[in-house]
Chain A
Amino acid sequence: MSVQGPRQVLELAKVSRTFGRGATAVAALREVDLTVSAGEFVAVMGPSGSGKSSLLSLAGGLDRPTSGGVFVESTPLAGLGLNELARLRRRAVGYVFQDFNLIPILSAAENVALPLELDGVQARKAHRQALDALRLVGIPELADRFMDEMSGGQQQRVAIARAIVGDRRLILADEPTGALDSTTGHGVMEVLRERADAGAAVMLVTHEARHAAWADRVVFIRDGRIVDEAAAMHDPAMLLARTGL
């Protein structure tokens, strides 16, 4: 009888990404191996230009690796066309950006319902699910507001709601608190933690130790390579000491 561990949601196998060619070539990632399992919250830390955001883009199918393989729920992204990648993003991957990246011409509920509607879900049903997602992030009353009628924290909660709506199993967050004050940022981290506890695989890119402290595992990256890895450290000071940030 074999004992199965937690299901792997994201796997990066010897992934490299190089931008440019010849003398101007820049290696953003070099043979990175990384897995994120269901219910796991992984934080990626590193200095600016270390390759954190490139890693996230490859994980979400927004970019393709120069070499190596990316697998989401065991599905190799290399074999997917652009349209299939788009379907994968809206069905399995939720993306949270630093700048919220809400579509300003859509209301909060419409932004959240967008992946579902694009996937053929009836508008009314999608709206209901969007309201559920907004309820999960604590702002159901803002459903009909537009981007310019909300604060930064509210916008980021809408972005998280958009990332978790439907049956998303992988949430990728790129500096989601970068544009928020500390209180609001704390609230956002609480939501991400809750999603991980609910079974989603969460990968957070950050250079703030106090946010990485919410993770189950912290991966340290420098010059495109994973240089260190640590289990949960709930004391940010220890993390800072570890990374030297």
Chain B
Amino acid sequence: MAIDVRPAPGGRRHSFRVALRMARRDISRHRGRSLLIVLLIMVPVAGMSGAATLVQSMQETPAERIQHQLGDTQARFRNMHAYNADMVQDPVVETATGSRNYAPDPDFVPLDPKDAIPPGYRVLTESQLTLRVTVGAAEVPLMAKAVDALDPAFTGKYTLLDGRAPAASDEVLVSRGLLERFSLRLGDRLTTSEGTFTAVGKLRDATYSDGNAILFLKPGQQKVQEEATARGPAPETIYYLVGRDQVTWDQIRELNRVGVAVLSRSVALSPPPRNEAGDAPGTGYDSQLWGGYLAGGLIGALALLEVGLLAGAAFAVGAKRQVRELALLAATGAEAPTVRAVVTAGGLWLGTVAVASGALLGALAAAAVVAVGRHLGSVRFPGFHPDVLLIAAAMGMGLLACLLAAAVPAGQVARQAVLGALKSGRAPSAAQPWPARIGVLLLVVAVAALAAGTGLGLVGGDPDVLASRTPLVAGLLIGGAVLTAAALVLLTGGVVALLTARSGWLPLPARLAARDAARNRSRTVPAVAAIVAAATLAIAVMVVAASQFENARKTHPWSARANQAALPLAETGPLLADGAVAPARVVDPAAVTGALERALGTVEWTRVLASPVARNCNMRAGAVASSRPGDGNCLQYKLGVPSGNECPTTQRGLVLDAGDWRCQGSMLPLGISGQIPQLIVGGAEELEALLGRKPGREALEALAGGGVVVSNPVFVKDGQTLLQAYDLRQAVTRPDHRADFEVVSDESLPAVVESPEVPVPYYGVISAEAASRLGIKVEPAVLLIQLSGYPAVAELDKASAALAGIYETQPAALHVEAGADRDSTSLLWLLVGLSALITLSAAGITAGLALADARSDHMTLAGVGAPPRLRKSMAGAQSLMTAVLGTSLGLVAGVVPAVLVMAATRTLAAPVVPWLQLLALLVAVPLSGGGLAWLFTRARLPMSRRLGT
């Protein structure tokens, strides 16, 4: 009677149950190894879940935003600060405005928001003003709001945390930050420039962190408000509408045309489709968020790849230890899938526990951070928003990494000859040819992907076309990089065999280590592979970081020379509601110098720079009025860039060639920062202050001859520079929709180039005589300050507090130029340290697992009389060899793709390989790994019973 060898009905299901049971028992018998795997998977899953939850919790939901901004009111109306009827607001963020036409319309008269309010609403007002409080010798500004904060309509926007509502005219509500800043308690009195108040209640403003110092007046305290504003411009008032009728998007569009911006509850909660929003600019926020998620997901995926390889090494050791049991299972009649399932079931159990606990831990940690943040009154976290989808994705990735980590050794075990395993208790070590073959195939595909990505990124000429290909190029190159790492991992066995083939000349410990690595590839390859993955990731990050640091250094927008600051000497007020500019106020440079010298003690010198200053310039007066009305001035000057000297860019503003002489320094289309004027009127002393060295003879001669000394050769053609005057009131819209001003006159001057050591954004210097001849109205514009070193944060705060006592209508924070590479070198070394730590962790974990696996060999060595030192040296040599091999292969797999990514996506940065740091990593990791293995290998082996062998 023939035997029925067909599968039994339900056999697969029952076999899997057996596999699950065996895996569970094995886990409980090897708790240390199981805990290591759980931790390896759990930590990145917890990190990703926590990060995703925190990012989500930092985003206001539309409902939260409306509650925080509007309370229970229906809408708020405010001045749009528009200068024509074409401007449009964003439906959700009413202060974000856009237009296709930036030219001021002289006939445009914006409507006062209060006159635009439809009938049928109760109206609440809110306005912001600045009070002054004396702190020591300085007067500091204090933000104040005039609002009936405790009106029930503001529920959710303002919350009384402690104390009571003000009853008397000198009672106010304050923020927690105000109490802390001035060391007050409720009931204490605070004296300001406008009067003395008693703080009777602690109020939370949902749009500001509690740490901000804010004083809340009631609109009834108008006298105080009027006094506070008597010397400055009238503060802007925002009108909140309380009523049942919704304000629609169509109404908002109509109101925009008369210069009123509106935040409407109904529109913000249900915004119009993008195509109906017209020219509204949008915040671009979603794309940033998704970009962040993409980058985070990529880093998380790479981390899980690394973790998967480490867990794979742990599973490989476990499977090797389990091989006899698995062979017995096979001898008892289990098919290969059942044998495989025992190991993969271990991955399923451990992975499930790891991802569940990781997700829980991440979410709980995020919840704790959110709770603490909210308790402390931070507006950073509007609510706790766990994102189930993102957390599930992180869990899925973790579980997949764990299952894949278990699947590879499971497959190897299932393939082993049952009899061989039963006879020797160890898996046969015959090398399989397939990993090398697949490795070569993957390497070919990887090289093809890298070549295709590089080709697409570099060939084509037009940077706009190349930039549009960036996602495809980045995908090909990152895919190529991952495939390269995977190929090298698969080729590791062959490389190990090749490198250890001629090891006869090595000293005994190294020779034993080499032979062990070659003969026991199932323990060597996972160790090397994990280090390859860690080193690849670390080295690629280092190359990218070094490239970006170098790019940042090259393109650093110097506001002045290093350790210099510039402060304005003509204080202008903010734009008023009617579009006019508040009367300018002259600041005494001696007072500024004295205040800074007292606050800092590092002031080397100060220099007043003279320049044309915009003063009392009515922006809406139009071109019909004079550019110099009365004591005012609307004329500003710039140096013209002659035809042919413009930095060549694409339509989208990308620089065609970063090395082009016309695109260096301040000529890069990055925008100008700092306070140094574009045209400076002065002589040799001013030039020296700007250049940091004595000016050359030619420059002085040019100044004396009525010419101009310019900072950049792009302004000079045929020895001449064009000085262009423009009127601040005559804005025009450029073809690329950017705002500009119309040139009203120009003058050609003989020019000499005198470049500073760093590309500060000043353009040209002329003499006072030349300015007078050209009719340029000049006055002290800027105080240039040279410090002997970059001040500490506390010193900057002290200086800003001192300046607050001098500048009245606008706060003048001291921005000192820090230079381009103040932190990047130390950051790069920090990165080396972190990379070394990650790679060493991988080396340590895998070396420890490999040593645990080789314990029986060490016992044999001890049995034949090997001294403890030999075993320690062998362990050290094994770790050294594994780390050298892993980091070397990681160097190739990390540097090549990273350089190609940077080269091909040139919009990011030019590639820079930090060879010194890489060399340090290559030396430090193997030596540390070898040393630690030597140190931690026990000289005395513990006695143990060898069961079943």
CA distance A245 to B10 in the complex (A): 50
- Please tell me if A123 contacts chain B, counting CB pairs below 8 Å: yes
Q: A87-B5, A105-B25, A106-B25 are in contact. Are A118 and B419 (CB under 8 A)?
A: no
Stretch among A40-48, A71-79, A185-193, A212-220 lining the B interface: A71-79
Is B11 in contact with A74, judged by CB distance below 8 angstroms? no
Is A90 in contact with B333, judged by CB distance below 8 angstroms? yes
CA distance A62 to B18 in the complex (A): 21
Contact of B2 among A75, A87, A121 (CB under 8 A): A75
- Please tell me if A142 contacts chain B, counting CB pairs below 8 Å: no
Stretch among B49-57, B323-331, B798-806 lining the A interface: B323-331
**Chain B neighbourhood of A136, CB < 8 A:** none
Is B332 in contact with A89, judged by CB distance below 8 angstroms? yes
B329's closest neighbor in chain A, by CB? A103
Is B22 in contact with A103, judged by CB distance below 8 angstroms? yes
Is B10 in contact with A120, judged by CB distance below 8 angstroms? yes
Chain B interface (Cβ < 8 Å from any Cβ of A): 1-11, 13-15, 17-18, 21-22, 25-26, 29, 325, 328-338, 418-419, 422, 947-949
Is B328 in contact with A101, judged by CB distance below 8 angstroms? yes
A–B complex contacts, Cβ < 8 Å, 7 sampled: A75-B5, A82-B336, A90-B332, A102-B328, A110-B21, A118-B15, A122-B14
Contact of A62 among B9, B15, B331 (CB under 8 A): B331
Is B332 in contact with A117, judged by CB distance below 8 angstroms? no
Minimum-distance CB pairs A-B, first 8: A90-B333, A120-B11, A120-B8, A105-B25, A84-B5, A89-B333, A83-B335, A120-B10
Is B8 in contact with A119, judged by CB distance below 8 angstroms? yes
Enumerate A36-90 residues with CB–CB distance to B below 8 Å: 57, 60, 62-63, 72-75, 80, 82-90
CA distance A88 to B6 in the complex (A): 9
**Chain A neighbourhood of B329, CB < 8 A:** 103, 114
Q: A57-B419, A62-B418, A106-B25 are in contact. Are A101 and B331 (CB under 8 A)?
A: yes
Q: A88-B5, A97-B422 are in contact. Are A82 and B14 (CB under 8 A)?
A: no
Enumerate A114-167 residues with CB–CB distance to B below 8 Å: 114-115, 117-123, 148, 162
Is A91 in contact with B4, judged by CB distance below 8 angstroms? yes
Enumerate A223-243 residues with CB–CB distance to B below 8 Å: none
Is B22 in contact with A105, judged by CB distance below 8 angstroms? yes
**Given A91-B4, A121-B14, 12 additional A-B pairs, CB 8 A:** A62-B418, A73-B1, A83-B337, A87-B5, A95-B332, A100-B948, A101-B948, A104-B325, A105-B25, A119-B333, A120-B13, A120-B15
B418's closest neighbor in chain A, by CB? A62
A7's closest neighbor in chain B, by CB? B1
Residue among B2, B15, B331, B336 with max Cβ neighbours from chain A (10 Å): B331
- Interface range, A side: 35 or more
- Please tell me if A31 contacts chain B, counting CB pairs below 8 Å: no
Interface SS, B side: helix
CA distance A175 to B336 in the complex (A): 27
Is B335 in contact with A86, judged by CB distance below 8 angstroms? yes
Contact of A118 among B6, B9, B18, B328 (CB under 8 A): B18
CA distance A120 to B334 in the complex (A): 11
**Chain A neighbourhood of B331, CB < 8 A:** 60, 62, 89, 95, 101
**Chain A neighbourhood of B419, CB < 8 A:** 57, 62-63
Contact flags (1/0) for A167-186 with B, using CB distance below 8 Å?
A: 00000000000000000000
- Please tell me if A208 contacts chain B, counting CB pairs below 8 Å: no
**Chain B neighbourhood of A108, CB < 8 A:** none
Contact of B333 among A74, A75, A115 (CB under 8 A): A115
A73's closest neighbor in chain B, by CB? B3
B326's closest neighbor in chain A, by CB? A103
B10's closest neighbor in chain A, by CB? A120
**Chain A neighbourhood of B328, CB < 8 A:** 101-103
CA distance A235 to B334 in the complex (A): 40
Smallest beta-carbon distance B180→chain A, Å: 61
Smallest beta-carbon distance B7→chain A, Å: 7
**Chain B neighbourhood of A102, CB < 8 A:** 328
Is A117 in contact with B14, judged by CB distance below 8 angstroms? yes
Residue among A84, A118, A122 with max Cβ neighbours from chain B (10 Å): A118
Q: A57-B419, A75-B5, A120-B10 are in contact. Are A104 and B335 (CB under 8 A)?
A: no
CA distance A57 to B331 in the complex (A): 10
CA distance A234 to B667 in the complex (A): 108
- Please tell me if A92 contacts chain B, counting CB pairs below 8 Å: yes
CA distance A82 to B15 in the complex (A): 16
**Chain A neighbourhood of B8, CB < 8 A:** 87, 119-120
**Chain B neighbourhood of A91, CB < 8 A:** 3-5, 333
**Chain B neighbourhood of A100, CB < 8 A:** 948
- Please tell me if A33 contacts chain B, counting CB pairs below 8 Å: no
Smallest beta-carbon distance A148→chain B, Å: 8
**Chain B neighbourhood of A114, CB < 8 A:** 18, 329, 332, 334
Is A123 in contact with B17, judged by CB distance below 8 angstroms? yes
Is A118 in contact with B11, judged by CB distance below 8 angstroms? yes
Smallest beta-carbon distance B945→chain A, Å: 9
Is B29 in contact with A86, judged by CB distance below 8 angstroms? no
**Chain A neighbourhood of B2, CB < 8 A:** 73-75
Smallest beta-carbon distance B687→chain A, Å: 85
Smallest beta-carbon distance B412→chain A, Å: 15
Q: A74-B2, A114-B18 are in contact. Are A83 and B11 (CB under 8 A)?
A: no
- Please tell me if A99 contacts chain B, counting CB pairs below 8 Å: yes
Is A106 in contact with B22, judged by CB distance below 8 angstroms? yes
Is A83 in contact with B336, judged by CB distance below 8 angstroms? yes
**Chain A neighbourhood of B947, CB < 8 A:** 104, 148
CA distance A106 to B322 in the complex (A): 13
**Chain A neighbourhood of B18, CB < 8 A:** 114, 117-118
Smallest beta-carbon distance B759→chain A, Å: 71
Q: A99-B948, A106-B25 are in contact. Are A118 and B338 (CB under 8 A)?
A: yes
Contact of A72 among B3, B10, B22 (CB under 8 A): B3
Q: A73-B1, A103-B325 are in contact. Are A118 and B333 (CB under 8 A)?
A: yes
Contact of B332 among A83, A88, A115 (CB under 8 A): A115
CA distance A125 to B22 in the complex (A): 19
Q: A91-B333, A101-B331 are in contact. Are A118 and B5 (CB under 8 A)?
A: no
Smallest beta-carbon distance B22→chain A, Å: 6
Is B336 in contact with A162, judged by CB distance below 8 angstroms? no
CA distance A83 to B341 in the complex (A): 14
Enumerate A9-23 residues with CB–CB distance to B below 8 Å: none
**Chain A neighbourhood of B4, CB < 8 A:** 91
CA distance A62 to B331 in the complex (A): 7
Smallest beta-carbon distance A158→chain B, Å: 12
Smallest beta-carbon distance B553→chain A, Å: 60
Contact of A87 among B17, B22, B333, B418 (CB under 8 A): B333
**Chain B neighbourhood of A86, CB < 8 A:** 330, 333-336, 338
CA distance A91 to B947 in the complex (A): 28
CA distance A97 to B29 in the complex (A): 24
Q: A105-B25, A120-B14, A123-B17 are in contact. Are A74 and B332 (CB under 8 A)?
A: no
Is A87 in contact with B325, judged by CB distance below 8 angstroms? no
A82's closest neighbor in chain B, by CB? B336
A58's closest neighbor in chain B, by CB? B419
Smallest beta-carbon distance B423→chain A, Å: 8
**Chain A neighbourhood of B21, CB < 8 A:** 106, 110
Is A118 in contact with B7, judged by CB distance below 8 angstroms? no
CA distance A121 to B13 in the complex (A): 10
Is A118 in contact with B336, judged by CB distance below 8 angstroms? no
Q: A101-B422, A118-B14 are in contact. Are A88 and B948 (CB under 8 A)?
A: no
CA distance A84 to B336 in the complex (A): 10
**Chain A neighbourhood of B6, CB < 8 A:** 87
CA distance A17 to B170 in the complex (A): 107
Smallest beta-carbon distance A53→chain B, Å: 8
Is A82 in contact with B335, judged by CB distance below 8 angstroms? yes
Q: A57-B419, A82-B336 are in contact. Are A87 and B14 (CB under 8 A)?
A: no
**Chain B neighbourhood of A117, CB < 8 A:** 14-15, 17-18
CA distance A120 to B418 in the complex (A): 22
B419's closest neighbor in chain A, by CB? A62
Smallest beta-carbon distance A144→chain B, Å: 14
CA distance A125 to B337 in the complex (A): 24
